[in-house]
Chain A
């Protein structure tokens, strides 16, 4: 059996259901009108390896199409007891996660595409995920330490710190570190984009320009790739999330913070973070968070908004969601050092007056941030980047190009040059050349008809 080809566009995890559907194996029996082509029947229960992640089951050939009976409840109650196998049903590879696992489903006839989410999941897991995180803020706010703590890595092992004299002539740079992390079989290709030099000079006017240009460049790169011919292996380097570090030593947002966020809030998901929160007492944290939230509203900054909970979610999840929303900006602490106490080792900062634990929810919002970033909202961050920020950029780009095209055409029409199509700079967007040709032909026809008309008029005048 042929191997499943990789999906047509982009990363696996970006794919929507439609793409998956398109590429499912053609083998097997396809019933007229059925949404999903039939899988191979394997009465003995073993699956072919040709289609990783697809369920196999049997269907009696003579039956008519059953309306879909997907029940959402089914999917969420995975982990149901192993149902007694009916003789015609092979052992499902999904095991616990088989949505058709409960006893009552054995008798009904399902099409079976409720396993699609599982299939997508399995494929994504095999291919791995990619995530690009940008960290921005003045130096000395603990960005690298936080990144190390978040992903339990040591990305900045041999960093050479410049002294003040060397830094006088330093401009804002963009550095990228990529690391592959694997956990329980799931691979994550994590890229951290750092911005050393940001906000360090005496005159910091427009120091965010470099950052803005970088983000635009990544969008442009993706745009070109997407419009190109070989779209199989596009590398997605777009920045999915930007953690902006706010200093705890001020009284809220500084002018530079406001400027940075206002410039970039339409291009990237900004998550504000209150750095080095262990220098503040709980009361101070509360006050400064309130101040920052108020200022964010006052200056109209669009930080990343969490998607709203569905109304039928559990109360507990809703509560968690509320808590998360109320914790912006996250007051975080990071540490590269592990401390041993009471038999366990954990990342912490040791002071003469106490030990601050990084992962203790009472000491900081670190856990909340990590959960948000990795466990609950990573996919949403990528979706918003793809659907909102990137689409905005793309629309802007195309609009600019269309303006160019229109201007060129106007200009060439003025010059009575009829072959306007070839004078235009070749845009990336494939202009429909057929319609162009039709327009041109029609124009010619009109011109000819006009000439004929003029001749007739002449004749008529002379005839009088």
Chain B
């Protein structure tokens, strides 16, 4: 797969800039304050420009060099368009299906876990994207506990990370295979959540960040969409299921208001497509039917662009942080309590250290 994507001219993501009064970082090392360093202005009354803000630029440079990894898991019945959506999200053929493009895969008898990794680059930033697919979920006649293999996989990744962390000779950058985000695909019946959906989310919402999406939503009219979303939200509330972004992790009011807006529109009703068509002289990604073209990136047609902006452009880092600080810590605490402390394992480089580039 193409690893070097020509950097498109994209608008900079809208990052909620907390300190809005700071001048844009100049990139040059900080200017010496006229009064010299040290002993000046205690608290926040700065008498000159120090250049603390340039730390942002330094971090940015560092991140660009090292890149970062992001692991996303897609869960849902077969045929709901999971692979297509992931391909559309990351604008390249990153999912499992891309290799063979054959839609004749037999439904596996048990839930399998298949992960595919790619490195994609944009604007000088490299991202190692891993897509974990779960074929066989919810496809059998008897789907009892079909979420067990998924739960096991997620915990295994936490365990791996924990082992690395607890090592005496730790690696500089622990390879992060923990699942940062789980996209759960809801079938667009228009009535309500299925039992299987509720069971899955109940079992896994405390273990991983779940973002529910309504798959193939071009089958719902506008009114049906609104009604369905309301029903789904209500049912999630009644069952006590907290999807990402979780209310309890909102740090301040600004976060809260941002996230509240997101929570109002969740679950996102999405449509995925990898084909382009001419509409009004522009080439757009869409699905062409006998009665019109469904434009994937048109917010009037579906909420794909909302999902993409939310997941990638504003909350990507947050997803990773919540996974690391909360989900992982919960797991760690539980493990350490259970075992009365882990023994540090002498790792002799058994697995090849994969750099994050």
Contact = CB atoms under 8 A, between A and B. Distances in A.
Contact of B294 (A163, A250, A353): A353
A353 B219 contact: no
Contact of A200 (B141, B195, B293): B195
A251 B193 contact: no
Nearest to B219: A279
Interface string B98-138: 00000111010000000000000000000000000000000
Of the four ranges (under 10, 10 to 19, 20 to 34, 35 or more), the interface on chain B belongs to 35 or more
A167 interface: yes
Interface string B312-328: 00000000000000000
B79 interface: yes
A141 interface: yes
Contacts of A141: 189
Interface stretch (A175-183, A253-261, A453-461): A253-261
B87 interface: no
B1 interface: no
B194 A164 contact: yes
A444 B322 CA distance: 95
Contacts of A139: 189, 191
B222 interface: yes
A362 interface: yes
B291 A250 contact: no
Contact of A355 (B107, B218, B234, B291): B291
Given A353-B301, A363-B290, A161 B192 contact: yes
A107 B187 CA distance: 71
Given A353-B295, A355-B291, A356-B291, A249 B191 contact: no
B213 to A, nearest CB: 14
B139 A254 contact: yes
B288 interface: yes
B189 A282 contact: no
Given A139-B189, A161-B191, A279 B144 contact: no
With most chain B CB atoms within 10 A of its CB, the pick from A248, A281, A287 is A281
B143 interface: yes
Contacts of B218: 279, 351
Given A164-B198, A203-B142, A251 B222 contact: no
B235 interface: yes
B64 interface: no
Contacts of A168: 195
A352 B300 contact: yes
A205 interface: yes
A163 B234 CA distance: 10
A162 B187 CA distance: 17
A160 to B, nearest CB: 11
Interface in B41-84: 77-81
Contacts of B188: 140, 249, 279
Contact of A249 (B141, B215, B231, B289): B215
Interface string B216-255: 1011011000000001001100110000000000000000
B288 A281 contact: yes
Contacts of B295: 353
Interface string A421-459: 000000000000000000000000000000000000000
B290 A282 contact: yes
Nearest to B215: A249
Contacts of B192: 161-164
A255 B140 contact: yes
A341 to B, nearest CB: 12
A276 interface: yes
Which of the listed residues A141, A249, A355 has the most CB atoms from chain B within 10 Å of its own CB? Answer: A249
Nearest to B236: A164
B216 A164 contact: no
A182 B71 CA distance: 61
A168 B193 CA distance: 11
B39 interface: no
Contacts of B308: none
Contacts of A280: 289
Interface string A266-308: 0000000000101111100001000000000000000000000
Q: Which of A164, A278, A280 has the most CB of B within 10 A?
A: A164
B260 interface: no
Given A249-B79, A250-B79, A256 B141 contact: yes
A30 interface: no
Nearest to A138: B189
Interface string A216-253: 00000000000000000000000000000001111100
A203 B77 contact: no
Contacts of A349: 221
B190 interface: yes
B285 to A, nearest CB: 13
Given A165-B235, A251-B79, A259-B141, 20 more contacts: A140-B189, A141-B189, A164-B195, A165-B239, A202-B144, A249-B79, A249-B80, A249-B188, A249-B216, A251-B104, A279-B218, A351-B218, A351-B221, A351-B222, A351-B291, A351-B294, A352-B300, A352-B301, A353-B293, A353-B295
29 contacts: A139-B189, A141-B189, A161-B191, A164-B195, A164-B197, A164-B198, A165-B239, A200-B194, A200-B195, A203-B143, A204-B143, A249-B188, A249-B216, A251-B78, A251-B103, A254-B107, A255-B107, A255-B140, A279-B216, A279-B218, A279-B219, A281-B289, A282-B290, A349-B221, A351-B221, A351-B222, A352-B222, A353-B301, A355-B291
